[in-house]
Amino acid sequence: MATGQLFSRTTQALFYNYKQLPIQRMLDFDFLCGRETPSVAGIINPGGDGFQKLFFGQEEIAIPVHSAIEAACAAHPTADVFINFASFRSAAASSMAALKQPTIRVVAIIAEGVPESDAKQLIAYARANNKVVIGPATVGGIQAGAFKIGDTAGTIDNIIHCKLYRPGSVGFVSKSGGMSNELYNTIARVTDGIYEGIAIGGDVFPGSTLSDHVLRFNNIPQVKMIVVLGELGGRDEYSLVEALKQGKVTKPVVAWVSGTCARLFKSEVQFGHAGAKSGGEMESAQAKNQALREAGAVVPTSYEALEVAIKEAFEKLVEEGKTTPVKEVHPPQIPEDLNTAIKSGKVRAPTHIISTISDDRGEEPCYAGVPMSSIVESGYGVGDVISLLWFKRSLPRYCTQFIEICIMLCADHGPCVSGAHNTIVTARAGKDLVSSLVSGLLTIGPRFGGAIDDAARYFKDAYDRGLTPYEFVESMKKKGIRVPGIGHRIKRGDNRDKRVELLQRFARTHFPSVKYMEYAVQVETYTLSKANNLVLNVDGAIGSLFLDLLAGSGMFTKQEIDEIVEIGYLNGLFVLARSIGLIGHTFDQKRLKQPLYRHPWEDVLYTK
């Protein structure tokens, strides 16, 4: 066991099992104390490497994350404290691994319920190798103005209230972490504050004892008096009694053992800690308090009188000139986290993203204000979801049915079209689903499947301006622009595209108006008089019919219709639909275990 000071303003720790809040509290304490370097050198997260972003004052820093204790110790040889936030199931193994590292001097075990046999092994190894174990079942410890373990002393407000941002003159040791916070506050009220405080933990076999730390405090010049808070159960306090009787402790000791109320119960009572259970008269709080009093410690008559006893002991030291109260300093202001400040109404901050189509902040996601449960319970289909997420309103059923028909009809057009071909080649190259899908999608454009928006745009402009089909087609010809939505590589006037016929039949049956579609059909009649392959294709059919859907539903203004066409909504239908087929082609090639594709040289014209 160490014989002097455990921590300093340069102490650095390795933190096992990442927990954001206790690490950030350590870093905030560092800043409060004016430390130049963060006290957390690295984080150990089994199975993960990288960095974690946290704040050191107002500066955002990246703390390295290591997957193994050995790697972390090698990377940070000056970090000699190991803070273990592992569960009770793995705390012993990870703590032993840390103790075996030559760079680690102190191990703090936060978990409760570590098996007693494991705790005994840790204690034996630590004592044999002159190392310190704090815990198990501890909140940790603190050296005021220098270093703290995890959540020790609680919030920054409590730390400031207890004046722990600068060193005092009192060494404090307790079994209880919760009562430590209470005593830090008490000691700050009636003395110049804590120099070092340790909570050894409430398990039956703590890694270090009350007397271990009292003897350490006795060797630290800055510690002028010692406060001890024990509890019923076990015989740890008697080792302190022996040290006092043998004169090993020369500084004033104020002590109290909690649990005197246990005698009020007819049967034995188990208090909060595993070790807080009296096993006989000697383990009672009354017996321990009496033994400490007889050994020379100042022991009040009750816990309520403890504050007065501490106050009188400190004032006596001041009167005798054995200590001079530490001068008060003003700690810096810890920057408040933005989220906290926003919630408290102290600041306002601009958002970085605007979303009007969905909201996931409530109990369930909403699409355009419609809860997910309502979508399912109302029997909505894919077309209804598209109407909510794309158009921000619930369209009539015939509209959503038309959307679904478009998706079904455009899902695939065989393996020979450019998009499917690209996807097949990519899948056969061993690429993943997303890569294969994107390879096919990237071919969508003015020449393949991307003409729906242009078809709608040109048909709408021509119809709204009152152009005859002749005037429209000839004006496009003069501009050198092919009429989008007209023409097919395979289909002819005497072999129409079945998909176009299905869409037209549905629209004539369900749409209130099909004026744009009829105009497109008139344009087709004129273009067929020029060439038999200049038929209305599926792009032209969807483009013109979508104009009829938008205009005929009465749910969109002229400005909204123009915006929908301009932004690219209609091509979005083809992209969405064709993704289904491209994914199918990817799975098909994977399922068939097709080899790498190489285009046959016979199909290439080699020329100079």
Token output for 238: 């008697």
Return the biggest CA–CA distance within the chain: 119
Cα(285)–Cα(401) distance, integer angstroms: 79
Angle, helix 515-528 to helix 452-464, in steps of 10 degrees: 100
Partner residues linked to 52 by β-bridges: 63
How is residue 163 written in tokens? 């004046």
Whether 6 and 39 have beta carbons less than 8 Å apart is answered as no
Q: Which residue reads 């209470």 in tokens?
A: 182
Q: What is the dihedral of CA 542, 547, 552, 556, to 10 degrees?
A: 130
According to DSSP, the residues that pair with 174 across neighbouring strands are 199, 229
Cβ proximity of 81 and 54 under 8 Å: no
Using alpha carbons, select from 103, 174, 184, 172 the residue that is nearest to residue 135: 174
Q: Which residues are catalytic?
A: 273
Separation of alpha carbons 291 and 458, rounded Å:
100
Please, are residues 190 and 282 in contact by the beta-carbon 8 Å criterion? no
Beta partners for residue 442, in sequence order: none
Mapping DSSP onto H, E and C, the string for 9-48 reads CCCCEEEECCCHHHHHHHHHHHHHHCCCCCCEEEEECCCC
Number of residues assigned to the chain: 608
- Cβ-count burial 105-140 (b if 16+ within 10 Å, e if not): bbbbbbbbebeeebbeebbeebeeeebbbbbbbbbb
From CA 553, how far away is CA 190, in angstroms rounded?
A: 79
Would you say the C-alpha torsion 285, 286, 291, 293 has a positive or negative sign?
A: positive
CA distances from 370 to 21, 367, 400, 556, 569 (A): 36, 5, 16, 19, 21
55 vs 27: CA distance, rounded Å: 7
Cα gap 167→163, rounded to integer Å: 8
Nearest to 538 by CA among 565, 481, 577: 577
**DSSP notation for 544-572:** HHHHHHHHHSS-S-HHHHHHHHHHTHHHH
Q: Which residues, at least 6 apart from 36, have a Cβ–Cβ distance to it below 8 Å?
A: none
Number of neighbouring beta carbons within 10 Å of residue 53 = 9
214 contacts: CB under 8 Å, gap ≥ 6: 171, 173, 226, 228, 240, 243, 249, 253
CA angle (108, 61, 73) in 5-degree steps: 40
Tell me the CB-side half-sphere exposure of residue 401, using CA atoms within 13 A: 10
d(CA 12, CA 43): 11
Taking residue 185's Cβ as centre, other Cβ atoms within 10 Å add up to 16
Tokens of 598: 């190489």
